[in-house]
Amino acid sequence: MDLFEKIAANRGPLGTHSAYAHGYFAFPKLEGEIKPRMIFRGKEVLTWSLNNYLGLANHPEVRRADAEAAAEFGMALPMGARMMSGNSNLHEQLENELADFVAKPDCMLLNFGYQGVVSIIDAMVGRHDVIVYDAESHACIIDGVRLHAGKRFVYVHNDMAGLEKQLERAQRIIDETGGGILVITEGVFGMSGNQGDLRGVLKLKEKFQFRLFVDDAHGFGTMGATGAGTGEEQGVQDGIDLYFSTFAKSMASIGAFVAGPENVIEYLRYNMRSQIFAKSLPMPLVVGGLKRLELLRTKPELKDNLWTIVRALQSGLREKGFNLGTTSSPVTPVMLAGQIGDAVQITFDLRENYGIFCSIVVYPVVPKDVIMLRLIPTAVHTLDDVEQTIKAFEIVQDKLAKGLYSKTEAPVWLTE
Ligand SMILES: Cc1ncc(COP(=O)(O)O)c(C=O)c1O
């Protein structure tokens, strides 16, 4: 079969919906400055879907640092991969400062979080080694595991008895192969908002020998007394062998890092294919990263503001009877009982009639009869924003319970 014909017949699980979803449910354009109120299709909306946790995206000092670095260095410098011709003192300075902040001996910058995680996993394990990972892991972990030539075992999300069973199986295999075990989980899970049970995982080190790799994309900057992440929050930062976070969330930028023991980071520098064979992070992103980290470290009010909004939003929704699942982080999922058709109508109603823009998650990410509205509070939201949102959610919940959405015609543009 011709590959292009095959693609025309099967657009993929998400692409199947592109004809009506594009520009509204998928690839929407939020315009204007990054802040809670932005423009969607010409109208102002209150936005709850940006991972700009600390509000750094538009912080005046950040904007100035980014602009000045772009003017001074341009977007190209340094040219080439870090290993070949793309290293700089500023890259190394940011690595040192990140390592200090997350209390690890060494750190390595990554161009992107997704590719970084895939490549870290690829570099860490060979065919004699075994990976054991949480079932709700982010796609980048899943894809890293897919590259692995050896055995892999998955455990039910945060089920420590399940993890122990899988470690027993892993142990039997490495007894034969002479390999090692890598356990992978997340600090904060981005959909449910619950934390990986890092303490529980580490307790199993008493019985098994393994190394723990934690993707803390949503925990860095938001969790722990200093914002150093979920390990700090749970008092087990020392036990995390390899700590990863992206710059795409609290740092409001692009790039990522991995931190751990000097010899392991040195090994990764010389063995991570996504970094060795890719151009170095441009200087403005590095200088901008230094400024963001400085603010994250020196302005605890950013995290305090975030948590004021998180607490108001989560307790306000819970008081009104909404089910927020098991979140223990800023990520705020609101679970409603309904079908995909209802979800389409709710999204439309919230955006067009109540000016609320949030992400909607449906099957297969959540069970078939569940609709998840996912809210990401930030340090720059206000308590008025919270109040407006809770009011709108109550109205929407009421309409859903009365079955009004299933009786509503699809918006005209959906059927055009
Ligand atoms: C848990 C997790 N890991 C990794 C990534 C990928 O990071 P990046 O956007 O830097 O590629 C994301 C999303 O951004 C994420 O949520």
Mean pLDDT calculated for residue range 277-283: 97
Residues 290, 349: one domain?
no
**Is the same domain home to 48 and 93?**
no
Residue 273's pLDDT band, with cuts at 50, 70 and 90, is very high
Return the pLDDT at 276. Answer: 97
Choose one of 240, 263, 298: the last residue of a domain: 298
pLDDT surpasses 80 at 2:
yes
Same domain for 291 and 396: no
DSSP helix/strand/coil, 412: helix
Which ligand 1 atom sits nearest the alpha carbon of residue 189?
A: 1
Residues 224 and 238 in one domain: yes
| 31 pLDDT more than 70 | yes
Average pLDDT of the residues in 17-29: 88
- Domain end marker among 298, 320, 339: 298
Specify burial of residue 13 (Cβ count, 10 A radius: 0-12, 13-18, 19+).
exposed
Judge whether residue 236 has pLDDT over 90.
yes
Number of structural domains found in the chain: 2
36 in the same domain as 81: no
CB-CB neighbours of 294 under 10 Å: 14
Percent of the chain having pLDDT more than 70? Answer: 98
Q: How confident is the model at residue 416 (pLDDT cuts 50, 70, 90)?
A: very low
**Residue ranges making up the domain that contains 271:** 59-298
| Ligand 1-lining residues (CB < 6 angstroms) | 112-114, 117, 138, 140, 186, 190, 215, 217, 246, 248, 256
The pLDDT assigned to 106 comes to: 98
Q: Which tokens belong to 205?
A: 């080190």
Average pLDDT over residues 330-358: 94
Q: Do 180 and 315 share a domain, yes or no? A: no
Atom of ligand 1 nearest to the CA of 116: 11
The answer to whether 124 touches 147, Cβ cutoff 8 Å, is no
CATH number, domain with residue 188: 3.40.640.10
Instruction: Assess whether 177 and 224 both reside in one domain.
Output: yes
By most ligand atoms within 8 Å of CB, the mutation choice from 140, 191, 247, 361 for ligand 1 is 140
What is the pLDDT, as a whole number, of residue 409?
65
Token readout for 323 is 């089910």
**Residue 415, pLDDT score:** 44
In this structure, the answer to whether residues 331 and 246 fall within a common structural domain is: no
Task: Give the Å distances, CA to CA, from 156 to 134, 136, 159.
Answer: 6, 8, 5
> Does 83 or 365 have the greater pLDDT score?
83
Question: What digits encode the pLDDT tens for the residues 161-199?
Answer: 999 999 999 999 999 999 999 999 999 999 999 999 999
pLDDT score recorded for residue 411: 58
Question: What would the pLDDT profile of 101-160 be if each residue is shown by its tens digit?
Answer: 999 999 999 999 999 999 999 999 999 999 999 999 999 999 999 999 999 999 999 999
The domain boundary residue, chosen from 251, 276, 298:
298
Distance CA 240, CA 197 (A): 12
pTM of the full predicted structure?
0.96
CATH of the domain at 310: 3.90.1150.10
Shared domain check, 38 and 87: no
The ligand 1 atom at the shortest distance from the C-alpha of residue 254 is 10
State how far the Cα of 241 lies from the Cα of 219, in Å rounded to an integer. 16
Cβ neighbours of 125 (radius 10 Å) = 26
The pLDDT-based confidence of 20 (bands split at 50, 70, 90) is: confident
Taking only the tens place, the pLDDT of each residue in 77-114 is 999 999 999 999 999 999 999 999 999 999 999 999 99
The Cα-based distances of 388 to 63, 174, 351, 395 in angstroms read: 29, 55, 13, 11
> Is there a single domain that holds both residue 383 and residue 324?
yes
pLDDT for the residue 133:
98
* Same domain, yes or no: 203 and 286: yes
Residues 350, 328: Cα–Cα separation, whole Å: 25
Reported as a pLDDT band with limits 50, 70 and 90, residue 366 is: confident
Distance 294 CA to ligand 1 centre (A): 22
- Check whether residue 224 and residue 150 sit in a common domain: yes
114 Cα–ligand 1 center, Å? 5
